[in-house]
A and B are shown apart, each in its own frame.
Chain A
Amino acid sequence: MTIRDIVNELEFTPCCAEEKLNQKVTGGYSGDLLSDVIANSKAGDVWITMQVHVNIVAVAVLKELSAIILVNGRKPSEDTLKKATDEKIPILVSKLSSFETGGKLYELGIGKGT
Protein backbone atom coordinates (compact mmCIF):
# COMPACT_ATOMS: atom_id res chain seq x y z
CA MET A 1 0.00 0.00 0.00
CA THR A 2 1.24 3.50 -0.82
CA ILE A 3 0.28 6.96 0.38
CA ARG A 4 -1.34 7.50 -3.01
CA ASP A 5 -3.60 4.48 -2.44
CA ILE A 6 -4.75 6.04 0.83
CA VAL A 7 -5.41 9.38 -0.85
CA ASN A 8 -7.42 7.69 -3.61
CA GLU A 9 -9.41 5.43 -1.28
CA LEU A 10 -10.19 7.85 1.53
CA GLU A 11 -10.18 11.24 -0.18
CA PHE A 12 -7.70 12.80 2.20
CA THR A 13 -6.24 16.02 0.84
CA PRO A 14 -2.49 16.04 0.18
CA CYS A 15 -0.88 19.39 1.11
CA CYS A 16 2.74 18.93 0.12
CA ALA A 17 5.51 16.58 -1.02
CA GLU A 18 3.25 14.99 -3.62
CA GLU A 19 6.34 13.56 -5.30
CA LYS A 20 6.54 11.20 -2.32
CA LEU A 21 3.02 9.82 -2.59
CA ASN A 22 4.34 6.57 -4.02
CA GLN A 23 6.08 5.94 -0.70
CA LYS A 24 5.17 2.60 0.87
CA VAL A 25 3.15 2.49 4.07
CA THR A 26 4.09 -0.40 6.34
CA GLY A 27 2.07 0.43 9.43
CA GLY A 28 0.30 3.14 11.36
CA TYR A 29 0.58 5.10 14.58
CA SER A 30 -1.73 7.58 16.24
CA GLY A 31 -0.74 10.16 18.84
CA ASP A 32 -0.64 13.82 19.78
CA LEU A 33 2.14 13.59 22.36
CA LEU A 34 5.20 13.92 20.16
CA SER A 35 7.42 12.44 22.85
CA ASP A 36 5.31 9.28 22.68
CA VAL A 37 5.43 9.19 18.88
CA ILE A 38 9.22 9.49 19.01
CA ALA A 39 9.32 6.62 21.47
CA ASN A 40 6.85 4.24 19.83
CA SER A 41 6.26 4.84 16.12
CA LYS A 42 8.12 2.75 13.54
CA ALA A 43 9.75 3.58 10.23
CA GLY A 44 7.22 3.41 7.40
CA ASP A 45 4.25 4.19 9.66
CA VAL A 46 1.64 6.65 8.58
CA TRP A 47 1.06 8.95 11.56
CA ILE A 48 -2.33 10.29 12.61
CA THR A 49 -2.27 13.44 14.75
CA MET A 50 -4.00 16.65 15.78
CA GLN A 51 -0.73 18.52 16.25
CA VAL A 52 0.06 20.99 13.47
CA HIS A 53 3.21 22.48 15.01
CA VAL A 54 6.36 22.46 12.88
CA ASN A 55 7.92 19.89 15.21
CA ILE A 56 5.75 17.17 13.63
CA VAL A 57 7.93 17.32 10.51
CA ALA A 58 11.10 16.80 12.53
CA VAL A 59 9.51 13.80 14.25
CA ALA A 60 8.48 12.32 10.88
CA VAL A 61 12.00 12.78 9.50
CA LEU A 62 13.63 11.38 12.63
CA LYS A 63 11.41 8.30 12.68
CA GLU A 64 11.28 7.89 8.86
CA LEU A 65 7.50 7.95 8.86
CA SER A 66 5.81 7.63 5.48
CA ALA A 67 3.31 10.47 5.91
CA ILE A 68 1.47 12.62 8.45
CA ILE A 69 -2.33 12.69 8.49
CA LEU A 70 -3.90 15.70 10.24
CA VAL A 71 -7.41 15.01 11.49
CA ASN A 72 -10.62 17.00 12.01
CA GLY A 73 -9.75 19.05 8.94
CA ARG A 74 -6.82 20.73 10.70
CA LYS A 75 -4.46 22.51 8.34
CA PRO A 76 -0.70 22.53 8.85
CA SER A 77 0.69 25.88 10.00
CA GLU A 78 2.66 27.84 7.41
CA ASP A 79 6.10 26.95 8.77
CA THR A 80 5.04 23.31 9.07
CA LEU A 81 4.01 23.25 5.43
CA LYS A 82 7.27 24.85 4.34
CA LYS A 83 9.40 22.46 6.37
CA ALA A 84 7.42 19.42 5.17
CA THR A 85 7.91 20.56 1.57
CA ASP A 86 11.65 21.00 2.14
CA GLU A 87 11.98 17.67 3.93
CA LYS A 88 9.67 15.89 1.47
CA ILE A 89 7.26 14.59 4.11
CA PRO A 90 3.73 14.23 2.71
CA ILE A 91 1.01 15.77 4.87
CA LEU A 92 -2.60 14.73 4.26
CA VAL A 93 -5.65 16.38 5.76
CA SER A 94 -8.54 14.16 6.87
CA LYS A 95 -11.93 15.66 7.68
CA LEU A 96 -12.56 12.70 9.99
CA SER A 97 -11.62 12.40 13.67
CA SER A 98 -8.55 10.47 14.82
CA PHE A 99 -10.72 7.51 15.70
CA GLU A 100 -12.48 7.37 12.34
CA THR A 101 -9.29 8.05 10.38
CA GLY A 102 -7.51 5.20 12.15
CA GLY A 103 -10.50 2.92 11.65
CA LYS A 104 -10.61 3.59 7.92
CA LEU A 105 -6.89 2.93 7.56
CA TYR A 106 -7.23 -0.30 9.50
CA GLU A 107 -10.07 -1.36 7.21
CA LEU A 108 -7.74 -0.77 4.27
CA GLY A 109 -5.43 -3.30 5.85
CA ILE A 110 -2.81 -0.98 7.36
CA GLY A 111 -1.57 -2.31 10.68
CA LYS A 112 -3.00 -5.81 10.19
CA GLY A 113 0.46 -7.29 10.19
CA THR A 114 1.05 -6.23 6.60
Chain B
Amino acid sequence: MIVYVTRKLLLTIPLLWGVITLIFILVQLSPGDATDRFFTPETPPEVRAMVMEKWGLDQPVGVQYIRMLTNLLSGEFGYSIPQERPVFEIIGEKLPNTIQLSLVTLFFLMGTGVLLGLSQAVRQYSWWDNIVSVVSLFFYSMPTFWLALVLILLFAVKMEALPIAGMTDPVMHAMMTPTEQLWDRLVHMILPGAALGIAGAAGIARYTRASMLEVVQKDYVRTARAKGAAERVVITRHALRNALLPIITLFGLNLPFLFSGSVLVEYIFGWPGMGRVIVDAIFQQDTPLIIACFFVYTLLVVGGNLIADLLYLLVDPRIRLR
Protein backbone atom coordinates (compact mmCIF):
# COMPACT_ATOMS: atom_id res chain seq x y z
CA MET B 1 0.00 0.00 0.00
CA ILE B 2 2.68 2.48 1.06
CA VAL B 3 4.87 1.43 -1.85
CA TYR B 4 1.95 1.96 -4.22
CA VAL B 5 1.19 5.42 -2.89
CA THR B 6 4.84 6.41 -2.94
CA ARG B 7 5.24 5.26 -6.52
CA LYS B 8 2.15 7.17 -7.59
CA LEU B 9 3.40 10.26 -5.82
CA LEU B 10 6.82 9.94 -7.43
CA LEU B 11 5.14 9.68 -10.82
CA THR B 12 3.47 13.04 -10.31
CA ILE B 13 6.85 14.80 -10.18
CA PRO B 14 7.65 14.43 -13.91
CA LEU B 15 4.01 15.28 -14.62
CA LEU B 16 4.21 18.51 -12.65
CA TRP B 17 7.54 19.35 -14.25
CA GLY B 18 6.01 18.81 -17.69
CA VAL B 19 3.02 21.02 -16.93
CA ILE B 20 5.20 23.82 -15.59
CA THR B 21 7.59 23.64 -18.52
CA LEU B 22 4.73 23.64 -21.02
CA ILE B 23 3.16 26.69 -19.45
CA PHE B 24 6.51 28.42 -19.13
CA ILE B 25 7.19 27.93 -22.84
CA LEU B 26 3.73 29.26 -23.69
CA VAL B 27 4.27 32.36 -21.58
CA GLN B 28 7.70 32.98 -23.06
CA LEU B 29 6.35 32.63 -26.60
CA SER B 30 3.75 35.31 -26.10
CA PRO B 31 4.84 38.86 -26.70
CA GLY B 32 4.89 41.33 -23.83
CA ASP B 33 4.96 40.60 -20.12
CA ALA B 34 3.33 41.58 -16.88
CA THR B 35 5.19 44.88 -16.59
CA ASP B 36 3.68 46.27 -19.80
CA ARG B 37 0.83 47.83 -17.92
CA PHE B 38 3.17 50.09 -15.93
CA PHE B 39 4.58 51.71 -19.04
CA THR B 40 3.36 54.17 -21.59
CA PRO B 41 5.16 54.70 -24.91
CA GLU B 42 6.80 57.76 -23.32
CA THR B 43 8.42 55.80 -20.49
CA PRO B 44 12.18 56.37 -20.67
CA PRO B 45 14.08 53.19 -21.48
CA GLU B 46 16.18 53.49 -18.30
CA VAL B 47 13.09 53.20 -16.12
CA ARG B 48 11.92 50.27 -18.18
CA ALA B 49 15.27 48.57 -17.79
CA MET B 50 15.22 49.20 -14.04
CA VAL B 51 11.81 47.62 -13.64
CA MET B 52 12.80 44.67 -15.78
CA GLU B 53 15.93 44.19 -13.69
CA LYS B 54 13.96 44.42 -10.46
CA TRP B 55 11.74 41.49 -11.48
CA GLY B 56 14.55 39.56 -13.09
CA LEU B 57 12.93 39.78 -16.51
CA ASP B 58 16.15 40.95 -18.14
CA GLN B 59 17.82 37.58 -17.54
CA PRO B 60 18.16 35.02 -20.34
CA VAL B 61 15.24 32.60 -20.67
CA GLY B 62 17.28 29.68 -19.40
CA VAL B 63 18.22 31.50 -16.21
CA GLN B 64 14.62 32.55 -15.63
CA TYR B 65 13.50 28.96 -16.13
CA ILE B 66 16.06 27.51 -13.70
CA ARG B 67 15.27 30.21 -11.17
CA MET B 68 11.56 29.47 -11.43
CA LEU B 69 12.13 25.74 -10.93
CA THR B 70 14.39 26.20 -7.91
CA ASN B 71 11.93 28.68 -6.42
CA LEU B 72 9.09 26.20 -6.84
CA LEU B 73 11.19 23.43 -5.29
CA SER B 74 11.74 25.55 -2.20
CA GLY B 75 8.01 26.31 -2.04
CA GLU B 76 8.44 29.85 -3.26
CA PHE B 77 5.68 30.75 -5.70
CA GLY B 78 6.94 34.24 -6.48
CA TYR B 79 5.29 37.60 -6.60
CA SER B 80 2.35 38.69 -8.72
CA ILE B 81 3.37 41.93 -10.40
CA PRO B 82 -0.09 43.17 -11.51
CA GLN B 83 -1.74 42.36 -8.18
CA GLU B 84 1.26 43.50 -6.17
CA ARG B 85 0.91 40.63 -3.73
CA PRO B 86 2.76 37.36 -3.15
CA VAL B 87 1.26 34.58 -5.27
CA PHE B 88 1.09 32.29 -2.26
CA GLU B 89 -1.19 34.76 -0.50
CA ILE B 90 -3.54 35.06 -3.49
CA ILE B 91 -3.82 31.29 -3.90
CA GLY B 92 -4.20 30.76 -0.17
CA GLU B 93 -7.10 33.17 -0.21
CA LYS B 94 -8.92 31.91 -3.32
CA LEU B 95 -8.23 28.17 -3.33
CA PRO B 96 -10.43 27.32 -0.31
CA ASN B 97 -13.38 28.99 -2.04
CA THR B 98 -12.96 26.89 -5.17
CA ILE B 99 -12.43 23.71 -3.16
CA GLN B 100 -15.50 24.45 -1.09
CA LEU B 101 -17.67 24.94 -4.17
CA SER B 102 -16.16 21.97 -6.03
CA LEU B 103 -16.35 19.53 -3.14
CA VAL B 104 -19.95 20.37 -2.24
CA THR B 105 -20.86 20.11 -5.92
CA LEU B 106 -18.97 16.86 -6.31
CA PHE B 107 -20.77 15.17 -3.44
CA PHE B 108 -24.08 16.58 -4.61
CA LEU B 109 -23.57 15.30 -8.14
CA MET B 110 -22.29 11.88 -7.12
CA GLY B 111 -25.16 11.38 -4.68
CA THR B 112 -27.91 12.59 -6.97
CA GLY B 113 -26.48 10.84 -9.99
CA VAL B 114 -26.15 7.46 -8.27
CA LEU B 115 -29.64 7.67 -6.77
CA LEU B 116 -31.21 8.64 -10.09
CA GLY B 117 -29.34 5.97 -12.02
CA LEU B 118 -30.26 3.35 -9.45
CA SER B 119 -33.93 4.28 -9.53
CA GLN B 120 -33.84 4.02 -13.31
CA ALA B 121 -32.07 0.69 -13.44
CA VAL B 122 -34.42 -0.97 -10.97
CA ARG B 123 -37.28 -0.55 -13.40
CA GLN B 124 -35.72 -0.56 -16.84
CA TYR B 125 -37.90 0.92 -19.61
CA SER B 126 -40.58 2.08 -17.15
CA TRP B 127 -42.02 5.58 -17.64
CA TRP B 128 -39.77 6.90 -14.87
CA ASP B 129 -36.71 5.40 -16.53
CA ASN B 130 -37.62 6.93 -19.89
CA ILE B 131 -38.37 10.36 -18.49
CA VAL B 132 -35.17 10.50 -16.45
CA SER B 133 -33.16 9.28 -19.43
CA VAL B 134 -34.49 12.04 -21.66
CA VAL B 135 -34.14 14.73 -19.00
CA SER B 136 -30.61 13.68 -18.06
CA LEU B 137 -29.55 13.62 -21.71
CA PHE B 138 -30.99 17.13 -22.01
CA PHE B 139 -29.03 18.45 -19.05
CA TYR B 140 -25.95 16.48 -20.03
CA SER B 141 -25.93 18.33 -23.36
CA MET B 142 -26.34 21.74 -21.80
CA PRO B 143 -23.48 24.22 -21.69
CA THR B 144 -22.56 25.15 -18.12
CA PHE B 145 -22.59 28.88 -18.76
CA TRP B 146 -26.00 28.79 -20.38
CA LEU B 147 -27.48 26.71 -17.56
CA ALA B 148 -26.05 29.27 -15.14
CA LEU B 149 -27.72 32.12 -17.03
CA VAL B 150 -31.02 30.25 -17.17
CA LEU B 151 -30.86 29.59 -13.42
CA ILE B 152 -30.10 33.26 -12.75
CA LEU B 153 -32.96 34.34 -14.99
CA LEU B 154 -35.42 31.96 -13.34
CA PHE B 155 -34.49 31.99 -9.67
CA ALA B 156 -32.69 35.28 -9.15
CA VAL B 157 -34.30 37.66 -11.62
CA LYS B 158 -37.86 36.39 -12.07
CA MET B 159 -38.55 34.74 -8.70
CA GLU B 160 -36.02 36.71 -6.67
CA ALA B 161 -35.69 33.67 -4.43
CA LEU B 162 -31.92 33.27 -4.45
CA PRO B 163 -28.97 35.67 -4.53
CA ILE B 164 -27.69 36.51 -7.98
CA ALA B 165 -23.94 36.44 -7.28
CA GLY B 166 -21.21 36.44 -4.69
CA MET B 167 -20.28 34.12 -1.85
CA THR B 168 -21.93 35.95 1.02
CA ASP B 169 -24.29 38.83 1.47
CA PRO B 170 -22.03 41.88 1.07
CA VAL B 171 -23.84 44.05 3.64
CA MET B 172 -25.52 41.80 6.16
CA HIS B 173 -22.98 38.98 6.45
CA ALA B 174 -20.77 40.68 9.05
CA MET B 175 -23.70 41.30 11.36
CA MET B 176 -25.04 37.76 11.37
CA THR B 177 -24.77 35.06 14.00
CA PRO B 178 -22.59 32.08 13.03
CA THR B 179 -25.61 29.91 12.15
CA GLU B 180 -27.03 32.64 9.98
CA GLN B 181 -23.65 33.07 8.34
CA LEU B 182 -23.52 29.39 7.51
CA TRP B 183 -27.03 29.59 6.09
CA ASP B 184 -26.05 32.67 4.10
CA ARG B 185 -23.13 30.79 2.57
CA LEU B 186 -25.31 27.80 1.74
CA VAL B 187 -27.93 29.96 0.06
CA HIS B 188 -25.26 31.63 -2.02
CA MET B 189 -23.91 28.25 -3.05
CA ILE B 190 -27.17 26.81 -4.38
CA LEU B 191 -27.18 28.40 -7.84
CA PRO B 192 -23.46 28.07 -8.65
CA GLY B 193 -23.47 24.53 -7.29
CA ALA B 194 -26.49 23.59 -9.37
CA ALA B 195 -25.04 25.15 -12.52
CA LEU B 196 -21.79 23.32 -11.97
CA GLY B 197 -23.21 19.98 -10.85
CA ILE B 198 -26.34 19.24 -12.84
CA ALA B 199 -24.58 18.20 -16.05
CA GLY B 200 -22.20 16.02 -14.07
CA ALA B 201 -25.04 14.45 -12.11
CA ALA B 202 -26.78 13.62 -15.38
CA GLY B 203 -23.61 11.98 -16.61
CA ILE B 204 -23.24 9.93 -13.42
CA ALA B 205 -26.89 8.89 -13.64
CA ARG B 206 -26.40 7.61 -17.18
CA TYR B 207 -23.28 5.76 -16.12
CA THR B 208 -24.83 4.25 -12.97
CA ARG B 209 -27.83 3.06 -14.92
CA ALA B 210 -25.65 1.29 -17.48
CA SER B 211 -23.40 -0.16 -14.79
CA MET B 212 -26.36 -1.43 -12.74
CA LEU B 213 -28.03 -3.01 -15.74
CA GLU B 214 -24.84 -4.86 -16.50
CA VAL B 215 -24.35 -6.10 -12.95
CA VAL B 216 -27.96 -7.19 -12.54
CA GLN B 217 -27.42 -9.78 -15.29
CA LYS B 218 -24.49 -11.36 -13.47
CA ASP B 219 -24.68 -14.86 -12.06
CA TYR B 220 -24.14 -13.88 -8.43
CA VAL B 221 -27.20 -11.65 -8.55
CA ARG B 222 -29.23 -14.55 -9.90
CA THR B 223 -27.79 -16.73 -7.14
CA ALA B 224 -28.79 -14.19 -4.53
CA ARG B 225 -32.30 -14.09 -5.93
CA ALA B 226 -32.45 -17.88 -6.06
CA LYS B 227 -31.50 -18.06 -2.39
CA GLY B 228 -34.65 -16.10 -1.74
CA ALA B 229 -33.07 -12.84 -0.67
CA ALA B 230 -35.43 -9.89 -0.64
CA GLU B 231 -35.27 -7.75 -3.77
CA ARG B 232 -34.17 -4.74 -1.73
CA VAL B 233 -31.27 -6.70 -0.27
CA VAL B 234 -30.30 -8.06 -3.68
CA ILE B 235 -30.22 -4.59 -5.17
CA THR B 236 -28.42 -2.78 -2.35
CA ARG B 237 -26.10 -5.49 -1.04
CA HIS B 238 -25.25 -7.50 -4.13
CA ALA B 239 -25.85 -5.39 -7.20
CA LEU B 240 -25.25 -1.78 -6.14
CA ARG B 241 -22.02 -2.49 -4.31
CA ASN B 242 -20.49 -3.94 -7.42
CA ALA B 243 -22.03 -1.43 -9.77
CA LEU B 244 -20.55 1.43 -7.79
CA LEU B 245 -16.95 0.29 -8.27
CA PRO B 246 -16.44 1.90 -11.68
CA ILE B 247 -18.25 5.01 -10.42
CA ILE B 248 -15.45 5.59 -7.92
CA THR B 249 -13.03 6.02 -10.82
CA LEU B 250 -15.38 8.63 -12.24
CA PHE B 251 -14.97 10.53 -8.99
CA GLY B 252 -11.40 11.25 -10.01
CA LEU B 253 -12.06 11.59 -13.73
CA ASN B 254 -14.70 14.22 -13.06
CA LEU B 255 -12.29 16.63 -11.41
CA PRO B 256 -10.83 18.25 -14.56
CA PHE B 257 -14.34 18.76 -15.93
CA LEU B 258 -15.42 20.24 -12.63
CA PHE B 259 -12.54 22.70 -12.67
CA SER B 260 -13.24 23.61 -16.30
CA GLY B 261 -16.83 24.28 -15.36
CA SER B 262 -15.86 26.19 -12.23
CA VAL B 263 -13.97 28.73 -14.36
CA LEU B 264 -17.22 29.60 -16.12
CA VAL B 265 -19.39 29.41 -13.03
CA GLU B 266 -17.07 31.59 -10.97
CA TYR B 267 -16.94 34.09 -13.84
CA ILE B 268 -20.73 34.29 -14.04
CA PHE B 269 -21.58 34.22 -10.35
CA GLY B 270 -18.72 36.43 -9.20
CA TRP B 271 -17.46 33.63 -6.98
CA PRO B 272 -14.01 34.64 -5.67
CA GLY B 273 -12.10 31.48 -6.58
CA MET B 274 -9.27 30.06 -8.64
CA GLY B 275 -11.20 30.27 -11.90
CA ARG B 276 -11.40 34.03 -11.78
CA VAL B 277 -7.80 34.29 -10.63
CA ILE B 278 -6.49 32.29 -13.54
CA VAL B 279 -8.61 34.10 -16.14
CA ASP B 280 -7.39 37.46 -14.83
CA ALA B 281 -3.82 36.20 -14.62
CA ILE B 282 -3.92 35.05 -18.25
CA PHE B 283 -5.29 38.39 -19.39
CA GLN B 284 -2.61 40.26 -17.43
CA GLN B 285 0.20 37.88 -18.44
CA ASP B 286 1.01 37.36 -14.80
CA THR B 287 3.54 34.55 -15.26
CA PRO B 288 4.18 33.45 -11.65
CA LEU B 289 0.47 33.40 -10.89
CA ILE B 290 -0.39 31.43 -14.05
CA ILE B 291 2.27 28.85 -13.29
CA ALA B 292 1.19 28.58 -9.67
CA CYS B 293 -2.44 28.11 -10.72
CA PHE B 294 -1.56 25.32 -13.14
CA PHE B 295 0.64 23.76 -10.46
CA VAL B 296 -2.27 23.75 -8.03
CA TYR B 297 -4.76 22.45 -10.61
CA THR B 298 -2.47 19.59 -11.56
CA LEU B 299 -1.87 18.71 -7.92
CA LEU B 300 -5.60 18.71 -7.27
CA VAL B 301 -6.38 16.52 -10.26
CA VAL B 302 -3.58 14.07 -9.57
CA GLY B 303 -4.45 14.01 -5.87
CA GLY B 304 -8.12 13.42 -6.67
CA ASN B 305 -7.23 10.53 -8.95
CA LEU B 306 -4.95 9.06 -6.29
CA ILE B 307 -7.72 9.25 -3.71
CA ALA B 308 -10.09 7.57 -6.17
CA ASP B 309 -7.53 4.81 -6.77
CA LEU B 310 -7.07 4.26 -3.04
CA LEU B 311 -10.81 4.21 -2.46
CA TYR B 312 -11.11 1.63 -5.19
CA LEU B 313 -8.49 -0.49 -3.44
CA LEU B 314 -10.26 -0.21 -0.11
CA VAL B 315 -13.64 -1.10 -1.55
CA ASP B 316 -12.68 -3.86 -3.94
CA PRO B 317 -10.54 -6.56 -2.32
CA ARG B 318 -10.20 -8.34 -5.67
CA ILE B 319 -7.80 -5.70 -6.95
CA ARG B 320 -4.17 -6.43 -6.19
CA LEU B 321 -1.53 -3.78 -5.96
CA ARG B 322 0.88 -3.79 -8.82
Bind each other: no
Which A residues have a C-beta under 8 Å from some C-beta of B? Answer: none
